[in-house]
Structure 1
């Protein structure tokens, strides 16, 4: 029997403050079973062993469920029903009789195809889908879509996404941010297999530290989503599912090399060690070394980087009504950048402006559960984790140091009321975070704890009359109550409505409240290497305390959204149109104000209006056999109220964006061309910058476009070669660093106003080798 000792957190130095009752609770959790939903359960994959997320599992008489992100389904037993089907667009539907089955099932769907004389009808999965059946507004991305880009990190997997915008980072820290619904990624809840993903001090580089080749799929939830994982997702939730050992390849190797001096290697191994146990391991190594300085300002255009990530996984799946998984993730990431040497025209300080960033993380998490209740519609599940993160950073003469110790527990219970049309989900979360953080001699430490409960009621209705057209309605009403030790009581109501007037259309409405606790320094990491001093709070702020100087107050907001998803059949091929309209309104928000004084960056609580309006329109269509086209347009209106300047556009937030991709998905050869257009953006005011500083920045950045190409050759069932280029038009922002000639002694030094890529055209090549 696999047993985790109850003193695991002590042994890993992850304890916050030893509490015997808490340790006993975690010991109980580790031995308690997980995840259930129903007596009828199993896995659904395609012929390449990829999860068929979103496939429909339904009784022939009506009613059913869908396959989840892990390829699993749970179907409630219903008296009088003994025959069900599993279907997915473009794949052959399979039907089953209950009295002939042994659970859990392992179902393989094959692509549909039929020949009539010289006519061949086929259907394909293009790797990206917006389901008409899902009750919430979720876009799913499979590993097939991820292979259309170099995608050596989770961050790069969004380069082809119309929903998630990827910024271009800065040359000093090297980090890249995402934006969702016009707002920074801080307001989107990031989860790794439905648990917090490298958050807190680790959040600036979280997306860089999850390798793309490890990813099985991504679910992007827009707007107010589920409350089961917390209420931190103000603009949505991005959940990443890693490849699972029971379904993963026996061995997978991915090698990558780029012209910017970057090389990466990824290895995955999976092995069944007993009838019920699977062991998985994954390793990632990344090295970037270069001295590129295309604008001759003596600063590296990107930092050198040495990264190692390791993952060990143990899965248990059996026929005795319980299963579980246990995981250990370790990360070591070191980046070196800044000035390569001092300027020869008389920089007063002869030592170069050095930037060193050293981040180390260790996470242990698991899931256990039981699905052997007398009533098959009942379920209970537990998710638990402990994590430790340490950072040791230097920005010129300033040192940023910190440690974070966190514990997390989430318990979930699912049942139904009366029949399958009325479902209830109950949950409880307990979380503790201990932050020790300093910037120079200033203390930003704090201790936070949250205890909360949630409930969600789901009502489902489908047109069941024989011969009637398909119609369906779903309503999800949720409420979460949390007690935060510093921010007080927080109540988060949410509602999600979906109506299907026919089989090809889904209309969704959502509204809800969310909240988060900001990380003052790491949320604004790009401002640390600058000549500004960070000033926290103002006269009206009451949230500052000597015991928790790093806490300025919670951020809270309401989000409202409407979605229309419509499928068409045009010339025998499917077209999908998606329209999203969202508005986010803040009641509390930490304002980052760089325009009061040149010498200071002020962080203070909002006093006035702050909102983000977002509209997204996208079209996906297979214009010719094996040739897909995706077009998207996004409009964003994002404003905040500043203490001295009133309501203004938020800097570095383009009002208009557009995306166009063309892909050819042949059996041997695949090609994908991607074009992104970014409209004008407001930059911070430069009026106060001294005249002697060379400043080519406009007050509004120009619009620009980027072109990338990915080519893949499938040599055989095991081997793929890929190569391509990014930023093929060689678009670069010159003189992005203001005051680069005298970073220590000049009147102003700043590298935050980056609106275009710093690095020019890049080429890459790689190989994927898979042993099933």
Structure 2
């Protein structure tokens, strides 16, 4: 309790003097310019603006108090700084763009210098280096996030951070928890890459404002803003499997109102079975999505501002044996197949009222409904989920500090119905599973600055009342210390917790022939996360970039992880309150040469284990060592660009199959492997042609399904997938943009 009292004390307003200048960069219409450069005359001391055009820059070591702001397509401006602590730039559009030599472009990945939380901002520049058909494919060039296949037959995926399951990663869409419960399994694949503007990735404990999850980290996907995107964007893509993606975005603006409408469809691939195991290498995916984002006003302007989003997704996935017919063979005990049919409408709004620069109110509300009908062999799984999320915040800026406080409410209604069309294995988990969850929360977070703004401290605390598990306290604190403006140390510590949605989060349980045994009532998962980060940025006339090193440790107080090892015919579900730890060290170097060449390499070391009876047991599917390297070239003319990336994966522990018959046994560890991807992009003013190859050297984990010869037998299992299974993928696409 002492730590909670201590943190609450830190939340009290504290006034601190500062030796920094705060400001904002806008255009002549008072619209914020995100990513503008701000720097002192005749120095290398500078920064970039955030989403709202805001910036913060130190005055230490500056003799000439002339501040310069610049942005591509706008005329630079210089202001003399005297006694003011806040200044505003209004940049005018340049009418002589053809005569300007643009010295640089926005980096693909930006690590914020002035925010206490270390965010890796993945921009559209980076997303253009790969196909990025959907959100799951937007991390091909990243070290921090690892996409992982959870069901090889339907190709469902999760996003892992710190070597932990994707269930511990808090995924937000425009700040809303839309990937939750039933939507976890396929939700990340339903967001088309053409709708994504920026992705903000942070590791470990984060702000308490968005909730109590974020045990391993947070991914906030920012979709494109109607008033700051292409008027028209068309995208068409096809790969060598004949899977086709079509996208269209249309935006318009009138006064303070703007609107973005997007449509997206995926049409299924042809049938491929390179393994000759009678199972499709790639499921047949059909998806239709339409979304609309209506916006009024600006967050930074006084008065009202609002965004309202609508989206509807219809999706069908068909996988299994090559001769499976989804119209006649659902639930068959002779032909094995999997079908998933999803319908999901959703709505959200973010509405704010800014009294002045120091006082702001924001209301968040979102809701979605998902209906899913599925067959996994002879297992029938039907589910319905209704979600509601509400959050109201008050923000007070005082003495260069910020206090945010508010209330939140979550409602989840999940009804899962499981039955068997045939049950020769005498599995016991059929039945109706119903969850009704209501969570009311109160939170406060104070951002304070010390030592002439060199030290920034965020102290946050929230208390949530769960209708089943009672009150749970979540404290978090984050520190940032600027050794120099370009040399930064960060540290964070905090707790997190979550309730378990067993079937939707572990869809492989329904796929395999294992019986599911509930050993006890499941409690919320809880963990403590601590981490430190060092970032060094550098910028010379010819070379710019950064070096970053991280260490994070996660200690679970309770964890739910299916036990596959005790009995190969069962998955035992129980609370694990023993020692369960994730240690990760990550280092990354990014270099940009002459604004034409890019090089980035990152190394990750994972140590994820449990202790059982005093013995250390590694958790499966975590490469102990991993290296990601990317290369890029773009001439100053910007006519074309070439991008390559290589992923090297070390050995991964696999589930224990030694009690299986010899023909159904697998090694204890996977082999090491490398995957190399490349893409070529050619620019033709409004058109952009791109072509690429994923997995150039065609590495495959052959026949990943155990007992594929007998998919209705007791040893059938799809959980030992540790590498790519479909081999080399060639693709070609075209984009059309109307600015």
Cα deviation 1:461-518 (Å, max 9, x = unaligned): 464xxxxxxx721011111111111222111111111011112201001000111111
Cross-structure match for 1:659: 628
Write the deviation string for residues 36-65 of structure 1: whole angstroms up to 9, x where unpaired: xxx9877579xxx99624866999xxx999
TM-score (norm 1): 0.83
Match of 1:757 in 2: 724
Shift of 1:341: 3.3
Look up the match of 1:513.
495
Aligned to 1:31: none
**C-alpha separation between the residues in 1 aligned to 2:243 and 2:581?**
39
**Structure 1: runs of 5+ lacking an equivalent:** 1-38, 77-81, 343-348, 464-470, 545-551
Q: Distance in 2 between matches of 1:428 and 1:128?
A: 33
Tell me, yes or no, if the aligned pair for 1:44 and 1:67 is still in contact at 8 Å: no
- Note if 1:606 corresponds to 2:588: no
Asked if structure 2 preserves the Cα contact closer than 8 Å seen for 1:90 and 1:125, the reply is: no
Deviation at 1:595, TM superposition (A): 0.8
Q: Superposed, which structure 2 residues align to 1:235-254 within 5 Å?
A: 235-254=216-235
Distance 1:654 1:284, change over 3 A: same
1:288 to 268, 289, 292: 268
User: TM-score, structure 2 length as denominator?
Assistant: 0.86
Q: How does 1:306-317 map to 2 (within 5 A)?
A: 306-317=286-297
Alignment of 1:266-665 (within 5 A): 266-272=247-253, 274-317=254-297, 321-341=303-323, 351-373=334-356, 376-417=357-398, 419-420=399-400, 422-440=401-419, 441-461=430-450, 463=452, 472-536=454-518, 538=519, 541=520, 544=521, 552-569=522-539, 572-623=542-593, 625-641=595-611, 647-665=616-634
The verdict on how the C-alpha distance between 1:41 and 1:431 changes in structure 2, with shifts beyond 3 A counting, is farther
CA shift in 2, pair 1:555/1:260, >3 Å: same
Residues of 1 paired with 2:274 and 2:664: CA distance? 17
Aligned to 1:36: none
Alignment partner, residue 133 of structure 1: 114
For the residue of structure 2 that corresponds to 1:213, the secondary structure is helix
Alpha-carbon shift at residue 351 of structure 1 (Å): 2.2
What's the counterpart of residue 346 of structure 1?
A: none
CA distance in 1, matches of 2:561, 2:302: 53
* Partner-residue secondary structure (3-state), 1:194: coil
The number of aligned residues is 680
Q: Which residue of 1 aligns with 2:17?
A: none
Q: Give how far 1:360 is off.
A: 1.4
Could you tell me whether the CA contact under 8 Å between 1:58 and 1:65 is conserved in 2? no
- Residue 204 in structure 1 maps to residue 204 in structure 2: no
Counterpart check, 1:738 vs 2:687: no
* CA distance in structure 2 between the partners assigned to 1:720 and 1:585 by the alignment: 47
1:197 Cα deviation after fit: 2.3
Out of 148, 152, 171, the residue aligned to residue 190 of structure 1 is 171
Deviation at 1:88, TM superposition (A): 7.5
Q: Distance in 2 between matches of 1:506 and 1:431?
A: 36
Shift of the 196–767 alpha-carbon distance from structure 1 to 2, 3 Å rule, reads: same
Question: Corresponding residue for 1:712?
Answer: 681
Write the distance in 2 (CA, Å) between the matches of 1:128 and 1:708.
19
Aligned-partner Cα distance in 2 for 1:341–1:89 = 56
Cα deviations across residues 654-701 of structure 1 (Å, max 9, x unaligned)?
10000111101231010001100000000011111123x354x32110
Aligned match of 2:423: none
**Aligned counterparts of 2:714 and 2:163: Cα–Cα separation in 1:** 33
Residue 93 of structure 1: how far off its partner (Å)? 5.5
**Contact 1:480–1:493 (CA<8 Å) still a contact in 2?**
yes
Q: Does structure 1 conserve the Cα–Cα contact (< 8 Å) formed by 2:544 and 2:593?
A: no
> Which residue matches 1:549?
none
Shift of 1:535: 1.2
3-state DSSP of counterpart to 2:186: helix
Alignment of 1:31-180 (within 5 A): 43=26, 52-53=34-35, 67-69=49-51, 71-73=52-54, 86=69, 94-95=77-78, 107=91, 122-180=103-161
Q: Helix, strand or coil for the counterpart of 2:633?
A: strand
> Contact (CA 8 Å) 1:43, 1:73: kept in 2 or not?
no
Give the aligned CA root-mean-square deviation in angstroms. Answer: 3.2
CA drift of 1:603 comes to: 1.3
Contact persistence 2:69–2:89 (CA under 8 A) = no
Structure 1's 668 and 390: CA in aligned 2 closer, same or farther, altered over 3 A? same
Distance in 1 between the 2:414 and 2:66 partners? 54
Distance 2:77 2:207 in 1: 31
Q: 2:238 corresponds to which residue?
A: 257
- Pairwise CA distance, 1:377: 0.7
8 Å Cα contact 2:486/2:537 also seen in 1 = yes
Deviates more, 1:480-489 or 1:140-149: 480-489
Which of these residues, 676, 679, 683, is aligned with residue 654 of structure 2?
683
2:705 corresponds to 1:724: no
CA, structure 1 residues 125+42, in 2 after alignment: closer, same or farther (shift >3 Å)? closer
Q: CA–CA distance in 1 between the matches of 2:614 and 2:343? A: 40
